[in-house]
Each structure stands twice: as structure tokens, then as C-alpha cells.
Structure 1
């Protein structure tokens, strides 16, 4: 029988696991650990995500988590636990598995350390038995069942109006998240363990960065956690709702409905030099969310080693390889389409001097060496090309790419050559990306 590690784990609650706990004489070692574990108590509740100073956590080489903690929707992920020794923050390393549990904590699958003294650290560090500095405004530091913690103030007034909850909505590039104060929920008689989205398996969890807040998240994907999608010619809207019910009462559930709206058309210029060649671009969309796009220039057709540095030295005979990647976009809903890809002697995207590699989704027929490729299911577009004539005429060359996200629900969005037609008949989210000089 395979047990859920969120309900089958061993507790690690030693105070000396705290990143604030310095070695005095006795050092500890985790060579005997094997299985799923959860951090609790004064030492800390989760592994730190940054390098920990040597001789911390009651040991010589403290182990910290290299990489971020997962979301509940990520399931079990694999990370590296790094041990700090000498001048290397990852002198020792162990593979660990991590899972975020719906109840708001993390569990870790540890194996015994190969050397002593190495210990898996815990954070935030709370060596003292007081928590007064970590509690929210409507909480107080209290000792319950022998453990100190932040608990809702007994003086809070009962409320029945949902408006009292004041939910906060965050519209991101890959998910939407609603946050509610735990104490306000308890004041209204709601238990966070019964709160869920339209799909009852998507429950609320305590925010790892703010334990006084309960968060519910859904990916920007139709059907995920019951999310529905509405489209028109200019916008796409993702909708869901929170179900709140009171345990042990016949009262009907109450709902908080929320949505995130993203416009499908926007024009943005990135005016910067190439440093590094791979660049992440974040565009604010309608004041409500962001989409992520990555543009990179590579040295070979394997598309594995990008150019780096503020400038790139090339000869006219050098073949170039450019990749665009719409990161985190649901490829079932949107397809990345390249409209124009061109070079200019300046960073100005409307420079009258242009050399087109791709125009209106068509390759330049005067350059038989150029190719364009759409990577199925990944929202990546790759172009290989030469700039022989252009590089001979100008000292600096900047590359610009005009792309759009095409709504696949409205029409076929394959990046096929459109001749002289401007492909604006498809619903799209447009932008210009710039890279250079080269």
C-alpha cells in the first residue's frame, strides 16, 4: 500500500536544527535518516533555500535546499540538498524529494548523509520559545499543548458578511491565486480544511511565506481545479470560485467568485543591449497579470549554448540560431506565431533600415540558407539564418522579433507563410522583442 507522505511521516522537532543554532561542542549527524520527514517546533518548519553558514544547525556542514519549494499542484518534486563546507556552499550534496501538503506544510524524503557531521537544517529559525515577532496583527503568541505558536486573538468580533474576508487576488503568468486571512475565516466559523475551489480536490493551504494566510491556486488552464474560460476578440478570462462551508452545520455553502482577465493584443518594446544573450521578458497585462517570453541567440543548431556578453563578435559567414519560447503558456489555448524577424543598425525597432529574415511569417526568399521551425506542443519557434551582407555594411546589428500569441479556439494558428497578407485576422497577443548588438 502506497501511503500519502502528507499523512505518513516522522517529525523532526529538535531546536538545534535551526539556522540560528551554532555549534558549541557536540555536533549532530543525520546519517541514520531514511524516509519521509516533517519539520515542526521551535527549530523551524521547512528547509532554508539559501546557503547556510558553516557550523550552524548543530553541525559542521549544514544542509540547505538548492531550489524553491513546490506548490501543492506540483506533487512530489526532486531537489538537491547542499552541504556548506570550506568555501563551497555545495561541497556535499544529497538528492531529496519534497512535497507541499494541502494543510500548509512540507514533507521531505531524506536519506542518510554520507559523511558526518552533516545535518538537514530547518528555517525560519526560532531558537527562543517566543513567537511574538512573527505573528500577524490579528494573532497573538500563545503556548498551546506545550508549543509556542501564533493563534487568533480571542477578542476578534464575529462576522457574517463575506465582505469582511477581504480576499486578495493575484493574477500571474501561470496561475491565479486568492489569499484569505486565517483568523478572519475562523471568526466566521470556517475551517480552512473544508475550503476548496470548484473542484473539491483543490483545497486551501497555509502560505509557506505567511502562515497567517490561506491560499488557493489554479493554473491558467481550462478545467484545472474547475476553472472555466471565456473568450472574445480582445480578451481571455479565467474564472473560478471558492466554496466555504461550516463544519457540522446544515447551512448552505457560501461562494467567493473570482476571475483574471488578460488582453490578447499588446505591443511592447525591449530596448537593451545583449547581456546575457538569453533574456526573460515580463510584460504587465492589463494591470492584472503577466506572460513570460524568452528570446535567446545560440551558437549552434543544437540550441544548447547561448551567446553571452554585452556584445557578440561575428564574421559575415557565421550562421546564427535564434529561439523564442512562450514560457508557461498553455499550448492547448495559445500558439506562438512569428510575424516578423528583422535586423537593424540601431536598437530602434522602427529604424527605416531593415533587413528581414522573416516577413509576414514568410522566410526571405533571397536567403536560401534560412529556416524556421515550430516545436510542436512547446510554444517554441526557432530560426537559423545568415547576416552576411548586413554585417559587411554596419558595425553593429540589432535583431528584433515581432510575435503574437494566437488563440487556438478561434482558428488554425500554425505559423504558415501568409504571403503579402498581414496575419491580423487571427486573434493574437502581439509584442516586439529586441536583442543586440551583434
Structure 2
């Protein structure tokens, strides 16, 4: 009778020790040191183990994945007495004080923390008050293991999993992390089959561990999670892996034939070396590979509106549309086979956010259909799957039309009207008696004259003709030497704006063109109508004309570029004497 009693005592000692030194955080559940089970119902950060006497603390960050109402432990953060912070993330990423570390096969000692990585996950091990502690994370399960039962000064969910309200860490939680959501139940889940699968932990090969680690909380955690959440992303094996590892941490005997009994591969870190952005998680894609999928809370807005991305960004000279890489990954869409109407225009993926942007501008429309209706211009383009002559395709067919409406600046109609339909100036001197007429037109042929009832819009092109009568065209040529505009009737008033200078168009105003200057007894020029900024509603046009004797020299100004060479003819005393001045005014 002594031997069975001794065996029972040893078994009880082993069982008690196991319940005191291993805490498992997997899925939305916490199995504390006492094998008590509790669920996390939000997406906040919780303290799972804290020793306030030395600054040591372990946090578990819970985030949603495919459903908004089920959370999973997403990362683990350690703070140690040296003040350093170590973060264990999905994909085997380890950050020390927000700096990414590169781990190799051998353990690395960094500021008192020994970090190691293998195919199963990442382990951080350190000594705290003569007690060895290890924290393991494989991307979906975190386990805290101590060599001896923790003392009474230690708090957190691993000590009492029911203390969720006091263990929540508000300083690192967003205000919305406590928001509760309720998604529609997954009708594809067979809860009876789930329970049968989870209860495998009571059968061989796990039965050998039942005396060391109570399987009940693991079975309950498995059943509760898989009855609400689909068995994807390795979830159907996650609780078995967690139980087997808890057993191996507390016993030298491990007998699990993974290949023949559980239909699971040996324990391995999920999404190893896969980095996703903050709005994504790593999961199984439609192709069976692992990729970055959208978190449910983030994606809900897009799914409600049945869109794959953000609204179109219409700018003055460019158009762009951004699609979410994680939504396309979820639907099995390969962004690299997508293009705009012009197949050379492809989407560009941001390597950090995984957002894919398609863009074009007014210089290169990428095949966009451009239509104009009044002041509105429409750019219509399409994101589509690459055209191919292949009989089959492995990619979902995509055809997304999008349009951008851009309103052109409206032409402001300032009812400018000429005060007089034409201005006539009689010039009498000892040598000549002639008349100068100044008249404005709305067409280049100078057939549609402007009168006091004609409205002239800003930026409208008008032609002004300066015509003389009473001069011998064989002897005399008329040169429009200068024309300028003022906001008041006096030609000497300010501000002044030059249109014609030294017989040539003002080089700083590309709208001015001078025609026939110095060739005969008349010439004309054109410009775009304007008004003076911040001034009156009146514009006065003044022109100075010179008479040039053809027998003496060429009277046509040479207006080719070249600085001082712009003034191509020298005025004679005759020209100085035989000059005339004429003005025309607009008002609205």
C-alpha cells in the first residue's frame, strides 16, 4: 500500500506545481496559474503578470481578426526593471524599445533578457528575484512559465483571470477598445463537431498529460472559441498545441503523434516572417497561403458600402483611387494583374500600409475617357484585370469604373462695355490733315464690332484696330508706338499696364499680338480682356501713334527677341512732330 500512496503524493505534487507555474493566453481566453478560465470580450491591453516591487510586467494586447466580436491575443509586451520594453509580435517579430531585432538560431542576451527563436515561436527568458521566468509567443498563443509558484505580490490575469476590469491597461488602450460588437452567427459552424474535436485532449496521445495539466479549461476554451469563430488560420490546432506545450513545460515526458491523430502538423509559429500593417492580421488566404487580411472593425465600413477602397481623390490636375490590399487579398485578387484602360498604368503598393494606388494626370490620362460639359470636365477610367488571350485565368475578374468630375473655373462675365462704339481723332498740322479711328472687334477678321451694348467677358480675346484716313499710303506708314491701359481716364494715372511697347507686343503678356504695324496707314493688335485688381470697374486704353516716312527707311519694327534690339527703328524729328494720341474706355 505504500507504493501507490507514494505515487499518488508525487502525482498530486506534480499537478499542483503545474497549476501554479504555467499561464496560457490563447484566442480570446486566459487560463491562469490555477487553471481557471476567463474570456476577454474587447480589444484592449491587459496586464497578465505584474510584480510592482521591481517594475516587471507582461501585457497581452487583444485585437479582432475576421469577426468584430471575437478577440485574439495579438502581441505580448514585456517591461523589465532595466526600463527596457520588449514586444513580441505576430510573424516572429521582436522589438526592443521599438527597434526591430534580428534573431538567429542561437539565444541572444540583451539587457538581461535572453531572446531565442525557432520554428515554434519566440521565447523571452529572464531571472526575477532568483526565479526564472519565460514568456513564449507563436503569433496566436502566449504562455508565461515560472519555475516555482509566484508569490503573493504578483498580480494580473495569470494570477486571477477573472480580474479583467482591474487588469485592463487604460494608458495604452484606445477609447474605442471597449466598444462591444455583435456579428451574425456563423451558420457554417457545427458546434457538436467542434466539441468532439476539442475533447480529443482527453484521449491518446494527450491522455498522458491529463494527470499533469487539467485539459478541462483548454477543452472549454477550444469549444467556446470554435463555436463562434471559423476554424481557419491554424485555429483548429491552436488549442492542442497550447495544451501540449503546457504539458512539456511541466513534464519531461511528451508523447504526441501529431501526424496520425490530430490531423495537425507539429507546433509551428504561424505566419513566420510575415509582416502586416496595424489594420491587418496574418491569416489563410483563398489560395491556401498566408497573407495580410483586413481586421473586421477596420473593414466593416468598406464591406457595408461594398467597396474595395477609399473615395476617388480628384485634384486640379490629377486623379487617383486607392484600394485596400487586405480586401483584395481576402477576395483572392492579385493587384499585380490590374491596370487602367491603358495597360501600362498599374497600381503601386505602399509596402507599409499595403494600400494600392492607381493614378493618372491631365498630361497622361492612362486611357481615360474625357468629356466636357460646360464648365465641368469628366475623367472616366476603369481598373480591370489584365487582358489575356489565355483560355483560362487563375484570378478573379475585376472591372471597377470610376469617374472624377472637375469644375473648371467659371469665366466671370464682367459686363464691360465700350463707352463709344468707336473713337475718332482729327489731326491737323502744317504738313498733314488726317483722321485716326480706334475701334474694337470680337473676331480676328474684324467684322463683328463691339459697341456700347456688347458685353465683354474677362479673358475674352478682342481686337483693336487703329486706322487712319487722309494719308498717302505710298509715302507714310503708321506705327503704333505704344498702347497701355489705366483704371482712370487720364493716360498718366496709375496703375498702368503696357500692352504695346516700342512698337512691339509686351513680352511679359503672351496674350498680346500686333499685326501690320508700320506697313500701311492702319494696323491692329489683340489682347485678352482684363480688369485691374482691387481697383475700379473701368479700363481705359491709350495708344500713341507715329507717322513714318517710307522713303527714308523701313518703318516696320523688328520684334524678334533680344533685349535692347526690340526697338528696331530710330525716330526722326519728323516722327516726333507727327505723332498722335487716342484713347478708348470700357466700363461696367
TM-score (norm. length: structure 1): 0.33
Q: Which has the higher helix share?
A: 2
Return the index of the structure with the highest Cα Rg: 2
Q: Which has the higher strand share?
A: 1
TM-score (norm. length: structure 2): 0.25
